[in-house]
């Protein structure tokens, strides 16, 4: 029997019940005392729960003490060695963050074999990406499916991707949609963004802009960069201030992530460029002659990749035609107009996004910045 903090004797189940009630109302001090009382008796669940709360409280601590970190690790380990699946998964994360991927996989596997859905997803992720083990899409699919069947939203989204792309199993976008919906309804932001794309593009459902907007918004509000970018794109023609607002958030999110996709960041910069181009100039440029024939942009997507297949020069908030305007020194609007846009806050943000995209390997951003440099030099703009 364990002893209550007040001195009364009561069962483990009563202690756990009181601890969970305290945790649910945010009384973490009481919850931790109760969990610790169990942990000190060697109880696996008490060890795990105390360590879990303590770890969460240290998330915002830039310099946690070594003794606190050691206590968390030791409690997870003690609990995991008793076969407690959530602790095995938590210990796997600690090894993963500590760059011991093989030990991480060992503990994820132990937990997954007991049916713990988060660990099953992690094992699938390791197989899918070949982390400390050869890539194996069949085994990845197996573990993702196990996890998704238990309702784990990240696994449902990944399984949706498997069906959408026809990986391992035949392509079935209807099944993909079902899985995306299940995941999105649990507030998983990548699934909400994907569902928005399905409605925006009419993939196995009728096009529905209101539904697309709803799901992009849900995802974007959780700070998911791709959804913020899609929401910015959604507002390009209808509300430029909202478009700038969401593109700004998306661009900063991509810049904060050193591993983000340079091409996606370049697309955000391109959308800035489009918005910074005065509307009447956009119309003129879209009509520009290219290789002896007229090519009109067929919607926003064409405008964002440069309006023409051969891509006109895109200079600092001003779209210039690829024929004559730049090389002859002619352009729509005055040089002062270009200069003002380039030196504006949003013009500087756009250039920053191009620079960050270039760092991440975007050839388009690299070419844009070279063109911009030549343009500034030609017209002596500082």
Confidence of residue 44 (pLDDT cuts 50, 70, 90): very high
Residue 362 has pLDDT above 70, yes or no: yes
* Helices and strands (DSSP H and E) totals, the chain: 20, 6
Q: Please check whether residue 355 lies inside any domain of the structure.
A: yes
**Residue 78 pLDDT:** 97
| Residue 292 region by backbone torsions, left for phi larger than 0, else alpha for psi between -120 and 50, else beta | left
Q: Mention every residue, 6+ apart, whose C-beta is less than 8 A from residue 313.
A: 320, 321, 322, 325, 326, 371, 375
**Residue 255 pLDDT:** 96
Across 11-25, 47-61, 141-155, 338-352, the highest mean pLDDT is recorded for: 141-155
Round to whole Å and give the CA distance between 51 and 75. 6
**Residue 251 pLDDT:** 97
Tell me which residue of 207, 204, 208, 215 sits closest to 173, measured CA to CA: 204
Q: Please check whether residue 47 lies inside any domain of the structure.
A: no
Q: Please check whether residue 196 lies inside any domain of the structure.
A: no
Task: Report how far Cα 80 is from the mean position of its chain's Cα atoms.
Answer: 30
Q: Please check whether residue 365 lies inside any domain of the structure.
A: yes
**Residue 287 pLDDT:** 52
DSSP-derived secondary structure for 294-342: E----SHHHHHTTSSTT---EETTEE--TTTTTTTT--SS-HHHHHHHH
**Residue 178 pLDDT:** 98
Q: What are the start-end ranges of the H helices in 82-221?
A: 85-97, 101-112, 117-129, 137-149, 153-165, 173-184, 189-201, 209-220
* Contact assessment for residue 275 and residue 269, using Cβ atoms and an 8 Å cutoff: no
Residue 354 has pLDDT above 90, yes or no: yes
DSSP-derived secondary structure for 334-368: -HHHHHHHHHSHHHHHHHHHHHHHHHTT-HHHHHH
Number of domains the chain contains: 1
Q: Please check whether residue 310 lies inside any domain of the structure.
A: yes
Residue 283 has pLDDT above 80, yes or no: no
Q: Please check whether residue 118 lies inside any domain of the structure.
A: no
Q: Please check whether residue 252 lies inside any domain of the structure.
A: no
Residue range 52-57: mean pLDDT, rounded: 94
Q: Please check whether residue 24 lies inside any domain of the structure.
A: no
- 299 or 265: which carries more pLDDT confidence? 265
Residue 285 has pLDDT above 60, yes or no: no
Task: Give residue-wise pLDDT tens across range 290-344.
Answer: 433 333 332 333 333 333 223 334 444 544 433 234 444 444 456 777 788 888 9
Task: Tell me the residue range of the domain where 307 lies.
Answer: 259-382
Residue 1 has pLDDT above 50, yes or no: no
Residue 143 has pLDDT above 50, yes or no: yes
Residue 161 has pLDDT above 80, yes or no: yes
Residue range 268-289: mean pLDDT, rounded: 74
């Amino acid at each position: 029997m364990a002893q209550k903090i007040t001195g009364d004797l009561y069962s483990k189940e009563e202690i756990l019940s009181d601890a969970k009630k305290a945790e649910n109302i945010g009384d973490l001090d009481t919850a931790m005392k109760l969990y610790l009382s169990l942990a000190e008796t060697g109880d696996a669940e008490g060890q795990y729960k105390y360590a879990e709360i303590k770890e969460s409280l240290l998330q915002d601590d830039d310099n946690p003490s070594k003794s606190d970190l050691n206590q968390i690790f030791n409690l997870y380990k003690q609990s995991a060695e008793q076969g407690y699946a959530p602790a095995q998964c938590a210990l796997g994360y600690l090894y993963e963050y500590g760059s011991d991927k093989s030990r991480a996989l060992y503990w994820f596997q132990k937990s997954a074999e007991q049916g713990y859905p988060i660990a099953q997803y992690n094992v699938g992720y390791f197989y899918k990406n070949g982390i400390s083990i050869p890539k194996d899409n069949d085994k990845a699919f197996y573990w993702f499916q196990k996890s998704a069947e238990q309702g784990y939203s990240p696994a449902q989204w990944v399984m949706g991707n498997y069906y959408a792309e026809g990986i391992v199993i035949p392509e079935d976008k209807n099944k993909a949609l079902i899985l995306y919906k299940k995941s999105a309804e649990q507030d998983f932001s990548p699934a909400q963004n994907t569902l928005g794309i399905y409605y925006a593009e009419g993939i196995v459902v009728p096009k529905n802009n209101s539904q697309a907007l709803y799901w992009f918004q849900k995802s974007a509000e959780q700070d998911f960069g791709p959804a913020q970018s899609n929401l910015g794109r959604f507002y390009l023609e209808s509300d430029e201030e909202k478009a700038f607002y969401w593109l700004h958030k998306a661009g900063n999110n991509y810049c904060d992530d050193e591993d983000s996709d340079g091409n996606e960041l370049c697309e955000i910069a391109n959308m800035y460029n489009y918005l910074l181009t005065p509307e009447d100039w956009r119309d003129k440029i879209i009509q520009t002659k290219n290789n002896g024939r007229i090519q009109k942009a067929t919607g926003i997507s064409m405008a964002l990749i440069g309006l023409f297949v051969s891509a006109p020069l895109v200079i600092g908030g001003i779209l210039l035609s690829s024929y004559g305007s730049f090389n002859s020194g002619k352009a729509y609007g005055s040089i002062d107009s270009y200069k003002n846009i380039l030196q504006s806050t949003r013009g500087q943000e756009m250039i920053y996004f191009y620079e960050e995209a270039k760092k991440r390997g975007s050839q388009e951003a690299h070419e844009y910045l070279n063109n911009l440099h030549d343009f500034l030099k030609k017209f002596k703009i500082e």
